[in-house]
Structure formats: structure tokens, C-alpha cells
Amino acid sequence: MKKILKKFCLVLCLMVTIFSVVSVSITAEEIRQNKEVVHQLRTDVLPKRIYIRNKSFYSSGLPTRYRYYEEEHDGVVYSGRLTLTQYQNTGNGYLGLYSGYIYR
């Protein structure tokens, strides 16, 4: 009788161990899937492009006509090419104002 009870307890412990490992792995998979869904929903709501107006940049020489710009909004990176709208001599360089759309 003791042998049967020992075997039963051993099988029961083994089943509990297997169940706990399986439930932890299922929970980890659900968390990963939920993060993907939340990220997808958030990027669906955010705009595909943002207009940047009069972003200033300093340069030691004449400013270039276009400037690559990257910015993060709500965890999403937007980037694109801004166009020079005006510039001014500062004595030791130039201050240029750039405007344009950046996209995610």
C-alpha cells in the first residue's frame, strides 16, 4: 500500500510540475501576443506623417537645401527630408530654418 501511495504522490508531483511549466509558457506567449496587438493598434491610431515647421539647425557654412531629420513621437520614429525655408548669418555661421513632412 505504501508503494502505491508513493507512486501516486510521485505521479501527482510530476503532473503539478508539468502543469506549472506549461502554464508559465502559455502566459509568456500571451504577453508577447498582447504586446504585438497593442503596438499594432497604437500605430494604426497615430498619424502616418507629421509636419515640422521652422526647425532650426546651425551650420558653420552655408546651409544645405535639404536636411534629413528624425524624431520620436509616442514611441514611433518619424523621419524624412526637410526643405530649407530661410537662413540667416550669425557672424560665426548660419542658422537655417527647415520645414516639411516626416513619415513613420
Domain identity same for 38 and 73: no
Q: Model-level pTM greater than 0.85?
A: no
Number of domains in the chain: 2
pLDDT of the residue at 25: 63
Domain identity same for 4 and 34: yes
Q: Are β-strands 49-59 and 66-73 bridged in parallel, bridged antiparallel, or unpaired?
A: unpaired
Domain identity same for 88 and 41: no
pLDDT of the residue at 81: 96
The whole-number average pLDDT for the span 24-29 is 67
pLDDT of the residue at 17: 76
98's CB contacts (< 8 A; 6+ apart) are 52, 54, 55, 56, 57, 67, 69, 82, 83, 84, 85
Which DSSP letter does residue 103 get?
Answer: E
Domain hosting 96: range is 48-103
**Residue listed under C-alpha cell 544645405:** 64
Domain identity same for 99 and 52: yes
Q: Are 68 and 83 in contact (CB under 8 A)?
A: no
